[in-house]
Structure 1
Amino acid sequence: MRDLVYPPVIGFAKTAFKVLDLKIRLTGTENVPRTGGAVIALNHISYVDFILGGFGAVPSKRLVRFMAKDVLFRNRYSGPLMRGMHHIPVDRSAGTASYREAIRYLSDGEIVGVFPEATISRSFELKEFKSGTVRMAAEAGVPVIPLILWGTQRMLTKDHPRDFSRHRAIAITVGEPTTVGTDDDPAEATAHLRTTMAGMLDRTIRDYPEQPAGAWWLPASYGGGAPTPEEAERLDQEELARRAARRK
C-alpha cells in the first residue's frame, strides 16, 4: 500500500505538537508490533483522538488505518486526506462493507484503529463496547491492542468550546496484545477488553499531572464536573432525538 499522504500528515502533526508544546507521555508503545496485522482498540473522548491515537504507533514505525464515519470522507477538505491515508469509511446503516474492508487490511498486515464505544463518551469514562473489534481480530487471526488516551478531551470534545492552549499534558497508554480465538464468545471477549481498558484508564487518570476538583474534563467519579455515565447517556439520547427531528 503506497503512502504518499500519511507521512507528510504525521510530519505536520508533529510540528503542530511542538508549536503547542504538548507534553505527550507515551507508555507501553513497545506493545505495538513492528510487523503484521493488529487491531488497536481506543477509548473515545475527543474529536482529535484519531490524530493522537495514531501517534502511539509511531515509535514502532507503523501507520494506523482508522475506521471512521463516512461523512469525513465526503467532506471536501477532510475527504482527500482520509482517503489518501487509506482510512476506512464506516456507514453505520450498512456496516458490513467496512467490516470486510477492515478484515482485508488486517490480512494484508495493516494495523486498524477502532473505537469500540463508536461515539465520544461525554462522561469520559468507558461506554458500552460494540463486539466488532474482537470479532474482526478473531476472524483475521490478529491480536487486539488496547490503547488509552487522556487529555485530548481538553482540546476538542462534545458540548465544550475548542481549546488548543499550549503546554497541555496528553497521556497515551498502550496495553499488552491479547489474542481472541474464533471459538471464543465475542460477548465475553468484548467484556474482557472493556475491563482491561477500564483498568488502564483508571491508572492513566491517576498518573495524570493534573486532577483539579470540579474540572469539567474530569469524570464525576474522580471528583470532576463531567456528567455521570447515566447523565451522559441521557444527553446522547437527546442528541439522537434532535438529529432524527432534523432529518424529518
Structure 2
Amino acid sequence: MPEIVYPPVIKTALALFKALNMKFRLEGTEHIPPTGGAVLVSNHVSYLDFIFAGLAAHPAGRLVRFMAKKEVFDHKVSGPLMRNMRHIPVDRLAGASSYKAALTALKNGEIIGVFAEATISRSFEVKDIKSGAVRMAVAAGVPIIPITIWGPQRMWTKGHKKRLFQRGVPVTILVGEPLHPKRGDDYEKATEELHARLSELAEKAQREYPELPKPGETWWQPAYLGGSAPTPAEAAELDRKESEERQARRAAREAAAESDAAAKDGTSGA
C-alpha cells in the first residue's frame, strides 16, 4: 500500500522544526534495523513524543506505526491522519484487537512504536512499565529498541500550558542497543531490564541537556536534578487522583445515559 499521507506529514514537521530553529541531538540511530519488524519503546514526557520518537527511525528510512489511545483516532482532525498513517488505536477496555493488529504489523516487517508507561510521566522519570512490549516482541520474533526523548515537555505536557511555537528548544533523542527477548525467558525480568535501559538513557539525556531552566521555569526539570517537577511518589498520587476523577466522570455519564434511556422507555410505554 503506497504511503500517501505519512511522508508529507514528516516533511511538514521537519519544515516546522526548522522554522522554529529547534536544535536536535539524535544518537544511536544505527540501532534501528533497516528492514524487518521491531518494537520501538519510548519514555513519555509530552503530548508530542510520538512525533519525535518517529524521527529516531527517519535516518534508517523507516516509518513507525504507533499504538495510541482510541480517543486520538476519534478526533475529527487527528483521527483521519492517524488512520491514514496506519497507526494502531488502543481501546483500554478491549485491548485484544489492538494487540492482534500490532502483532500482524510486526510480522509483516513494520516497526511498532509503544509508550510502555501508558501515560505521560509527571515526574519525567521513567514510570513502572508492564510486560506487554516484551510479550509482543517475543510473539513476533523481533527485537525491542529502547529510546528516550527529552525537551518536548517544555512545549506541551500534562498540567502545563501549550507552548508549541517556542523557538530554539533543544530536543534530545537517544536510541539504545536492541534487546532480544525470546520464548522461555522470564518476561518480568526482561521488562525490568527494558525499564533499566530506558531509565539509563533518560538520565543521560537529562544530565547532558544543553540548557538549564530559567527562574520560574524549573517545572520541566526532574526533582532529582533540582527541578520542581513532582517526585515519582508525588506523581503517582496525582495520577491516582486523576484516575479516580476520570472513573467518577465515566460513571456519571453512564448513569445519565441509563436515566435518559429509562425516561424514553417510560414515555414510549405511556
TM score, norm. by length of structure 1: 0.98
Structure with more helix by fraction: 2
Q: Deviations over 1:82-138 (max 9, x none)?
A: 000000000011111101111100000000000110000000001000111010000
Q: Give % identity.
A: 54
Whether the aligned pair in 2 keeps the contact of 1:118 and 1:130 (CA below 8 Å) is: no
- 2:244 pairs with one of 231, 236, 241: 241
Q: Does 1:87 align with 2:90?
A: no
Distance in structure 1 (CA, Å) of the matches to 2:20 and 2:109: 34
Whether the aligned pair in 1 keeps the contact of 2:44 and 2:120 (CA below 8 Å) is: yes
Q: CA deviation at 1:167?
A: 0.4
Distance in structure 1 (CA, Å) of the matches to 2:244 and 2:141: 39
Q: What SS does structure 1 have at the residue aligned with 2:218?
A: coil
Match for residue 112 of structure 2?
A: 112
Q: CA deviation at 1:2?
A: 2.5
Distance in structure 2 (CA, Å) of the matches to 1:12 and 1:200: 28
Q: Deviations over 1:37-64 (max 9, x none)?
A: 0000000010000011101110000000
Q: Does 1:229 align with 2:244?
A: no
**How many pairs does the alignment contain?**
248
Distance in structure 2 (CA, Å) of the matches to 1:166 and 1:72: 26
Distance in structure 2 (CA, Å) of the matches to 1:170 and 1:108: 31
Whether the aligned pair in 2 keeps the contact of 1:37 and 1:108 (CA below 8 Å) is: yes
Q: What are structure 1's unaligned runs of at least 5 residues? A: none
Match for residue 170 of structure 1?
A: 171
Q: CA deviation at 1:211?
A: 2.8
Q: Deviations over 1:130-187 (max 9, x none)?
A: 1110100001000000000000111100000011310000000000111010111111
Distance in structure 1 (CA, Å) of the matches to 2:193 and 2:152: 25
Q: Aligned AA for 2:167? A: R
Q: What are structure 2's unaligned runs of at least 5 residues? A: 253-270
Whether the aligned pair in 1 keeps the contact of 2:148 and 2:174 (CA below 8 Å) is: yes
**Which runs of 4 or more aligned residues in structure 1 lie more than 3 Å from their structure 2 counterparts after TM superposition?**
none
Q: What SS does structure 1 have at the residue aligned with 2:219?
A: coil
TM score, norm. by length of structure 2: 0.90
